[in-house]
Structure formats: structure tokens, C-alpha cells
């Protein structure tokens, strides 16, 4: 089963609200957020032997990468929003 089948209802809702590109990015962002939560919970049980207050080094790397991916997705969504608003401002108003 592909992600398009698995998340069909969410994709349809977000794509309708935000457009195809931003809608798919929003679903990807939700998936990353859910994964970050799961890894964060797992990190509670897999403590670093060097520093028990932090998760194991491999989990820190995964968390950092996923957090970076979220920031990139958010920046693309913002850029798409700015472009869409600029296009609307440039087009002559029908009325």
C-alpha cells in the first residue's frame, strides 16, 4: 500500500485547502512530526551511556535529521505561499 492510499483522506483534505504541492508537504510534515514523537518516546528508554539526560547518539542523529527535514518542508511551504500571493496580486482582479 502506497502512502497515497494510506493517507488518501488527509491528502485530499490538505490538497483542497492548500493546493496540491503545499497539501502534500503538509501531510509529509505531519508524518515527520508523528515520527519525531515516536523516536522521542523511544529515546526515553535508550539513554546515552555518556550522558543519561540525552538519547543515544544514533537517535540524536535521527532526531536532528528529521528536525532539519521539517524545517526544510516548512520553508518550502512558506515560499509556495508567498509565490501564490504574489501571483494573485499580479493578476488583474475580475469584478
Task: Tell me the three cell numbers of residue 23.
Answer: 497539501
| Cα 81 from chain centre | 15
pLDDT of residue 42: 79
pLDDT of residue 39: 85
Reply yes or no on whether the pLDDT at 94 is more than 70: no
- Could you tell me the pLDDT band of residue 16, with boundaries at 50, 70 and 90? very high
Q: What is the mean pLDDT of the chain?
A: 86
pLDDT of residue 93: 66
pTM of the prediction? 0.73
pLDDT digits (tens, 9 = 90+) for 31-76: 999 988 888 887 777 766 777 777 777 888 888 888 899 999 999 9
* CA distance to 5, 16, 18, 27, 95, per residue, from 84 (Å): 28, 15, 10, 19, 20
Secondary structure class of 79 (helix, strand, coil): helix
Q: Is 22:79 a contact under the CB 8 Å cutoff?
A: no
| Cα 91 from chain centre | 30
Q: Is 55:48 a contact under the CB 8 Å cutoff?
A: yes
pLDDT of residue 10: 95
Residue with cell 485547502: 17
Amino acid at each position: 500500500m502506497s502512502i497515497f492510499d494510506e493517507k488518501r483522506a488527509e491528502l485530499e483534505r490538505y490538497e483542497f485547502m492548500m493546493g496540491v504541492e503545499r497539501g502534500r508537504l503538509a501531510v509529509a510534515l505531519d508524518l515527520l512530526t508523528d515520527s519525531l514523537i515516536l523516536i522521542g518516546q523511544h529515546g526515553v528508554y535508550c539513554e546515552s551511556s555518556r550522558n543519561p539526560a540525552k538519547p543515544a547518539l544514533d537517535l540524536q542523529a535521527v532526531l536532528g535529521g528529521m528536525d532539519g527535514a521539517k524545517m526544510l518542508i516548512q520553508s518550502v511551504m512558506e515560499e509556495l505561499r508567498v509565490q501564490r500571493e504574489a501571483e494573485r496580486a499580479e493578476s488583474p482582479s475580475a469584478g
